[in-house]
Structure 1
Amino acid sequence: MDPAARWDGKRVVFEVRHDGSDVSCAVSPDALRALTSRRCFKPKEVLDCFAAARPQVEAIARGKLRARTAPPVALLTVWSEDVEDYRAASGDDQRAAPGDVP
């Protein structure tokens, strides 16, 4: 799996390993802001925010993949609503501090 992530102009695109395959995923900037205390609007800021929150983002993406009965036919996207669902399920209602690496 290539750990590289890239900004496509609207979201961060990345891959996660799931059931032996790499799955293309994306995360919205709003979801990243919901996961962290960071202000991230410029592409570099968004990518830095993603790097800090990547473990949680990947956990959310894997949870969405496990909940599906069929493999995704397109990019699996993590939205801010998914962050809320993740926090509710995990009992985590805290945001990562700006310098924290989760």
Structure 2
Amino acid sequence: MTDHLTPSLHATISGKVQGVYFRAWVYDQAASLGLVGWVRNLADGKVEVLAQGTPEALAAFKERLPQGSPLSRVDTVAAAMIEYDNAYTAFAIRS
């Protein structure tokens, strides 16, 4: 059996993105686009996202990330398409 790699969008978002409902906002954006994967806070104050879905949905998601939640302030979004070794079936907020 060969390992299956799933095209995925991996992003790290910096700015005022913790404690401002940013992860919940990312979850809502992902759900509205039919994406699966996860979002989590990082110890350095950034937020990390891994999303999987159609190329069109991933492109739309990437365009939305700089907007952020109403209370957040997004300074930078470092995003790249990667081949990830796990395929998800839902989108989750991780702690």
Same fold (TM over 0.5): no
State the TM-score, normalizing by the size of structure 2.
0.27
The structure with the largest strand share of the pair is 2
State the TM-score, normalizing by the size of structure 1.
0.26
| Structure with the larger RCO, 1 or 2 (CA within 8 Å, 6+ apart) | 2
